[in-house]
Amino acid sequence: MTAIPNRAAFTFFHPLRVRWAEVDPQGIVFNGHYLTYADVAITEYFRALGIAYPADLQRDGGDFFAVKTLLEYLAPARFDDELSIGIRVARLGRSSLSFSMGIWRAEQALTSGEVVYAHADSHSRMSRPLPVWLLEQVRAYEHCAPPH
């Protein structure tokens, strides 16, 4: 049984309107576009934290690399739907962080998911601990974010 994401658990939401080019011959959003939606919302999440991604990580010689994605499709999105993409950091590890994602059309949950990023050296791609400044900003935001 698929878990419906709890909207109240999310600290950040990004609006997005479905464009014609994202709809497949079935008249619904092609499944691969949901990862693009997650990527856009994660970038906007970092912006809400005051983090210039990827520039701030690269200053320290690191970057994020996607190592896992999981999407569960609950209902389809269609052309011109106004979506709300919820993002929150669900787990902070030593060298990785996991984002939970939910997509809604009005109050209807359409998609739930997870995106896991590993933090590593930009050139060697060897694992590196998450920067302390990043950990502090995420913890402060997740505990103090205004309700949406």
Please report whether residue 123 resides in a domain.
yes
Please report whether residue 95 resides in a domain.
yes
Please report whether residue 2 resides in a domain.
no
Which CATH number characterizes residue 33's domain? 3.10.129.10
| Residue 12 CA neighbour count, 13 Å, CB half | 24
**pTM for the complete prediction?**
0.91
- Is pLDDT of 147 > 70? no
Please report whether residue 1 resides in a domain.
no
24-55: pLDDT as tens digits: 999 999 999 999 999 999 999 999 999 999 89
How many residues are listed for the chain in this entry? 148
Please report whether residue 18 resides in a domain.
yes
How many domains is the chain built from? 1
Cα–Cα distances (Å) from 144 to 2, 5, 37, 135, 147, in that order, read 29, 21, 25, 14, 9
Cα 124 from chain centroid (whole Å):
25
Domain that holds residue 57: 7-144
CA distance 36 to 88: 16
